[in-house]
Structure 1
Amino acid sequence: MSAIDIVKAFYDADLANDTSVVSEFFHKDCELHWTSSQGFMLLNYNEIEVFFEGTRKSYDSLRFEFTHLIEAGNTVTTRHTLFANTIENPDVEVVLAHFSAIWEVKDGKLYRCFEISNQADENDSASLKSYSERKI
C-alpha cells in the first residue's frame, strides 16, 4: 500500500471501537508530536494505545472530513475536521476539532506525525466554510 492509502485506511478505521487500531496502523517506534489547545504532547506507541483506550470510552463513533490530502513519497499531509457521536448522546453528531497533520509512513505503518489541532467553533461560519472547501 502507498503512504496515502495507509493514512486513508487509518482514518477510515473504526477508531472509536476497534481495539486493534494501534497495532494495525502504528509502527512500534512511532512518535506523535501533537500541539492542541491543551498544549504540546509527544506520544509514543504505548501512550497512543492509552489515548485510544480513552477514545473508546468516550465516543460511539468518529468521522473525518478532509479538505486536503497530499502525498509526497512516504509523507502524507492532511487537513481535516473531526466529528463525533459521544457515548452519552450517540444520536447527535458534533464537530470536535480541526486538524492539520504531517504523517511519515515507515515499513507500511504510521511512524511519525506532526499534528496541530484546535477546537471547532460551530458558530464561526468563516471557519466552517474554510473546512468545507475540498481541495483533494
Structure 2
Amino acid sequence: MSAKEIVKEFYKSNALRDSDLMDEYLHPDVTLEWNSSKGFLQMNKEELINLSNELKKSYHSSRIHITHLLEEENVVTVRYVHHVKTIENPREEMILAHFIIIWELKEGKLYRGFQMSQLS
C-alpha cells in the first residue's frame, strides 16, 4: 500500500474517534507539531490517542472531507474539512475546523506530522 493510500485510509476510517484504530496507524515514535488558531501543540502517540478518546466523548459522530491529497515518496499532504455532529444535537452537522497536514510515514505508519488548523 502506498503512503498516499495509508493516509487516505486513515482519514476515511473512524480513527480520529477510535483510539484502537488510531493506535494501529501511528508509529510508536510519532510526533505531531500542530499550529492552531489557539496556539502551538506538540503531541506524541499517547497524547494523540487521548485526543481520539476526547473526540469520541465530545461528538456524536464526525466526518472528514478531503479536498487535496498529494504524495511525494513517503510524505503525504492532506487538506481536509472536519465535520461533526454534537451529542446535544446529533441531527445537525457542523464544520469543526479546516486542516492541512504533512505526514511523513515510516514503516507504513504515521511518523512525523506538521499540521495547521483554523476553527470554522
What is the TM-score normalised by the length of structure 1? 0.83
SS in 2 for 1:63: strand
Structure with bigger gyration radius: 1
**Conserved 8 A contact 1:60-1:85:** yes
C-alpha contact 1:103 1:112 (8 A) present in aligned 2: yes
The runs of at least 4 aligned residues of structure 1 exceeding 4 Å deviation read: none
Q: Residues 39-78 of structure 1: CA distance to partner in whole angstroms, max 9, x if unpaired?
A: 0000001111111111110112111112210000000001
The answer to whether structure 1 residue 13 and structure 2 residue 17 are counterparts is: no
Count the aligned residue pairs.
Answer: 120
1:4 maps onto 2:4 in alignment: yes
Report the Cα distance in structure 2 between the residues aligned to 1:116 and 1:19, rounded to whole angstroms: 22
Higher strand share: 2
TM-score, normalized by length of structure 2?
0.94
CA distance, structure 1, for counterparts of residue 62 and residue 71 of structure 2: 23
Structure 2 equivalent of residue 101 of structure 1: 101
Q: How far apart in 1 are the matches of 2:24 and 2:45?
A: 12
Match of 2:42 in 1: 42
Kindly, what percent of the aligned residue pairs are identical?
45
